[in-house]
A and B are shown apart, each in its own frame.
Chain A
Amino acid sequence: MTGLLTIRRRSLGQLARSPMATTAPVAAVVGLGAGYALVEGVGASFGFGAPVAGVPIGLDAYRRVLASPTFWESACFSLWIAVASTVLGVGGGTMISWWWVSRPGRIRRIDLWLVNLTVSIPHVAWAVALLALLTQSGFVARMAAAAGVLDRPDQFPVFFADSAGLGIIAHLATKELAFVTLVTLPLATLRARHAVTTAETLGATRSQRFRLVFLPTIAPALLPATAVVFAFALGSYEAPALLGGQRPRTLSVVALEYFRDSDLTRRADAFAVSTILGVVVLAVVGALWLVGRSSVRPTRRADR
Chain B
Amino acid sequence: MTPFRRLATTLVALTVVASACSTTSDAVPATAKAVDVTNWSAVVDAARGQTVRWYAWGGSDAINRFIDETYGPELKSKYDITLERVPVADTVDAVNQVLAEKSANKDPGAVDLIWINGENFSSLKSADMLATGWAEKLPNAKLVNWDDPAVNKDFGVPVDGAESPWASAQFQLVYDTTRTPEADLPRSYGQLKDWACAHPGRFTYIAPGAGAFQGTRFVKQALFELSGGAKQWTTFDQATWEAQQPELWSYFNELKPCLWRNGETYPKDENELHQLFANNEVDFTVTQAIVGPGSLIDEGLVPKTAKAFTFDANSIGDYSYVAIPSNAAHRAAALVLANLILEPSRQALQIDPANGFGLGYAIDTSRVTDEATREGLDAAAEKRGPAAAPIDELNRSRVSDGAVEYQDLVESGWRTNVLGG
**Footprint of B on A, CB under 8 Å?**
22-23, 25-26, 29-30, 33, 49, 51-52, 70, 136-137, 142, 152-154, 158, 161-163, 245-247, 257, 260-264
Contacts and interface: CB of A to CB of B under 8 A. Distances in A.
B304 interface: no
B344 interface: no
Given A154-B279, A247-B265, A262 B7 contact: no
Contacts of B281: 136-137, 152-154
Nearest to A248: B420
| From A22, A163, A247, residue with most partner B Cβ within 10 Å | A247
Contacts of B201: 154
Interface stretch (B115-123, B244-252, B369-377): B115-123
Nearest to B201: A154
Contacts of A154: 201, 279-281
Contacts of A33: 14, 17
Interface residues of B, number: 42
Contact of A49 (B96, B103, B120): B103
Tell me if A's interface is mostly helix, strand, loop or mixed: loop
Contact of A245 (B11, B102, B264, B407): B264
Nearest to B266: A246
A51 B127 contact: yes
A162 B210 contact: no
A21 to B, nearest CB: 11
B127 A264 contact: yes
B1 to A, nearest CB: 10
A257 B209 contact: yes
Nearest to A33: B14
Given A29-B11, A33-B14, A246 B3 contact: no
B11 A136 contact: no
B275 A137 contact: yes
B78 interface: no
A246 B127 contact: no
| From B6, B92, B265, residue with most partner A Cβ within 10 Å | B265
A51 B3 contact: no
Contacts of A49: 103
Given A23-B3, A29-B14, A162-B265, A137 B276 contact: yes
Given A51-B99, A247-B419, A158 B261 contact: yes
B305 to A, nearest CB: 18
B268 interface: yes
Interface string B393-421: 00000000000000110000001000110
Contacts of A29: 7, 10-11, 14
A162 B262 CA distance: 12
Contacts of B268: 246
